[in-house]
Amino acid sequence: MPTVKKMMYVNRRAPHGTGYALEGLEVVLIGTAFEQEVCMAFIGDGVYQIMQGQDTRAAGMKNFSPTYKALGDYDVTRLYVEQESLSERGLSVDDLMPLTYEDEDDDWAEKPSVQVIVRKELSQIMAAQDVLFNF
Amino acid sequence: MLHTVNKSPYCSDSLRLCISYAGKDDAVLLIEDGVYAAMCGGNSEAILQGAEVALYALWPDLQARGISEDKLVDGLKVVGYDGFVELAAKHSKVQSWL
Amino acid sequence: MKFSVMVNEGPYNHQASDSAYHFTKAVLQAGHEVFRVFFYHDGVNNGTRLTTPPQDDRNVVARWSELAVEHKVDLVVCVAAAQRRGIADADEAKRNGKNADNIAEGFRISGLGQLIEAGIVSDRLVEFGD
């Protein structure tokens, strides 16, 4: 058994209608303490989780969308967004939050965490994981 | 990789997504309401027809829903929970398309 | 082989808990080890001993408890999800100033790290939910 496992958090649900996204994000944050090789995938309605401009004040619910911005600080630096899911929903990468991380191997240069990739490529990355968590 | 689908293909895109993500060495196991996709004659049959993966359905869930063996799509294998465990053990990981 | 199971839905409304239970039993019957069953999201509702189903129906909670007692299966309820939904053991109740606890036999309340650990330590993690 490898001491470090490849883990993917697969997010397929919209953020506010159900609690899966919020509680899924909590798993990702706690998981950072275990120093595994982690990435996140946003597929289907999951892409709505990182849409810009979420404001839950009038809905009277917790706005956890700013938490995604903190992921880079916790070394969660690979957020794969499925191109097909964006296109089907009439979205482009500009509709998503500009999530970034500082690359310690590149003089702490600020780099985008979000990578929009096509399904075929994402399925290959998924196949290369050791553990998959679905939220 | 073993994929599980637990939603009816008529209320969710889980099966369609699962099939498009599954590689040729993968297996797909239909459980819970996912087993409705195992019935022949429905529109969902087209989703399975293009699939190159090994296809399974859980018989306790088929039985619970009144789906007899003669109503199943061609090429689908029926397994119990023991078979579910075997499939999970045989494949390196399990992806649940919840 | 070492298995862990994750249960994301409560009893009776979704089949997830039933499926997870039958799968866990089959894992044990096949001679594999169950490292942990982790209850998350509404799945924490599987851990209340106050469940009182009608007599002609299965007792989902009691079934899990029996599995824990008979096979020493580690049933872990996520503390954060449990607090939101009112599932507490004596310690949790005291800490949060509540006058009652409701955790069922064989379940314990712990942190999300237990889920990550299960993912790392187990050969397979199988998730059941909606």
CB C36 within 8 A of CB C6: no
**Is pLDDT of B76 > 60?**
yes
CB-based contact A23 C80, cutoff 8 Å:
yes
| φ/ψ (deg, to 5) at A50 | -110, 25
Active centre residues of C (catalytic): 78
Radius of gyration of chain A (CA): 15
Q: How many CB atoms lie within 10 A of CB C52?
A: 8
- Mutation site for B-interface testing, chosen from A6, A20, A123, A135 by largest number of B Cβ within 10 Å: A123
Q: How many CB atoms lie within 10 A of CB C116?
A: 24
CB proximity list for C63: less than 8 A, separation 6 or greater: C21
Regions of chain A where pLDDT drops below 50: 1
Task: Provide the sign of the torsion angle of the four alpha carbons B12, B17, B19, B20, taken in this order.
Answer: positive
Q: What is the mean pLDDT of chain B?
A: 96
CB A74 within 8 A of CB A29: yes
In single-letter form, the type of residue at position B64 comes to A
A54 to chain B, closest Cα gap in Å:
25
Q: Please provide the distance, in angstroms rounded to a whole number, between the alpha carbons at the two ends of chain B.
A: 16
Res A3: pLDDT: 77
- Mutation site for A-interface testing, chosen from B21, B92, B96 by largest number of A Cβ within 10 Å: B21
Q: Which structural domains are found in chain C, ordered by start?
A: 2-128 (3.40.1260.10)
Pairing mode, strands C107-110 and C75-78: parallel
Which chain B residues are Cβ-neighbours of A132 within 8 angstroms? 93-96
Question: Smallest Cβ distance to A44: which of B17, B94, B96?
Answer: B17
| φ/ψ (deg, to 5) at B78 | -105, 130
Tokens of B46: 């087209």
C110-C41-A67-A30 Cα dihedral, nearest 10 degrees = 30
CB A72 within 8 A of CB A101: yes
Query: In CATH, what number is assigned to the domain containing residue B76?
Result: 3.40.1260.10
Res B65: pLDDT: 98
Tokens of B97: 């398309």
Element holding B56 (H helix, E strand): strand B54-58
Domains in chain B, number: 1
Res B94: pLDDT: 98
Res A2: pLDDT: 52
Question: Strands, E, within chain A: which ranges?
Answer: 6-11, 37-42, 79-82, 100-103, 109-112, 114-117, 131-134
Q: What order do you get walking across the sheet with A79-82 strand by strand?
A: A114-117, A79-82, A37-42, A6-11, A131-134
Domain boundaries, chain A: 6-134
Give me the mean pLDDT over the C40-51 stretch.
98
Task: Provide the sign of the torsion angle of the four alpha carbons A53, A54, A55, A59, taken in this order.
Answer: positive
**Is pLDDT of C15 > 90?**
yes
Q: What is the mean pLDDT of chain A?
A: 96
Res B50: pLDDT: 76
**Is pLDDT of B52 > 90?**
no
Residue-wise pLDDT for B84-96, tens only, equals: 999 999 999 999 9
CB C34 within 8 A of CB C73: yes
| Cross-strand bridge partners of residue B58 | B79
How many CA atoms, within 13 angstroms, populate the side-chain half-sphere of residue B75? 12
CB-based contact B88 C8, cutoff 8 Å:
no
Class of domain A6-134 (CATH, top level): alpha beta
C122 to chain A, closest Cα gap in Å:
9
CB-based contact A119 B98, cutoff 8 Å:
no
Residue of B48, B37, B27 whose CA lies nearest to B7: B37
Which other chains touch chain C, taking contact as 3+ CB pairs less than 8 Å apart?
Answer: A, B
Res A95: pLDDT: 98
Residue of B34, A23, A33 whose CA lies nearest to C38: A23
A73 in reach of chain C (CB within 8 A): no
Query: How many Å apart are CA B44 and CA B42, to the nearest integer?
Result: 5
Domain that holds residue B48: 2-97
Task: Provide the sign of the torsion angle of the four alpha carbons B43, B48, A133, C89, taken in this order.
Answer: positive
CB B66 within 8 A of CB B44: no
DSSP-based three-state secondary structure for C93: helix
**Is pLDDT of B49 > 90?**
no
**DSSP summary character for residue C48:** B
